[in-house]
Amino acid sequence: MGKKFKKLFSNLCCSYCKNDINRDAFTVVRKEKGANVVRMVCPKCGKDFGLGILKIHEGVGQPHEPLEIVQGAEPITLDEVLDVHKYLHGLD
């Protein structure tokens, strides 16, 4: 997934400190089939951009889906992350 990350985020930078966004900024919160729930935190200034859905399309000839970053106005608390865990677990 490293190459895809590099390609996806080659033009992105942190809106606060302008640090380049790379794979180090992402923590996989949950892995799903074809998609990962990731948390994006700037590795330089620590700005928390919240959770996003990273869709992974494997195979040749499939269109690349753009990354969806869900940016909330308020920082996400641990309780909210746990709620997301519970919610996602309920989808199984």
Residues that bind Zn ion (CB under 5 A): 14, 16-17, 19, 42, 44-45, 47
- The dihedral region occupied by 61, where left means phi > 0, alpha psi between -120 and 50, and beta the remainder, is left
Nearer to Zn ion, 5 or 35 (CB): 5
Minimum distance from residue 82 beta carbon to Zn ion (Å): 26
Pairing of strands 68-69, 26-32: unpaired
Nearer to Zn ion, 34 or 75 (CB): 75
Nearer to Zn ion, 19 or 30 (CB): 19
* CB 46 within 8 Å of CB 25: no
> What residue has token string 């889906």?
65
Minimum distance from residue 12 beta carbon to Zn ion (Å): 11
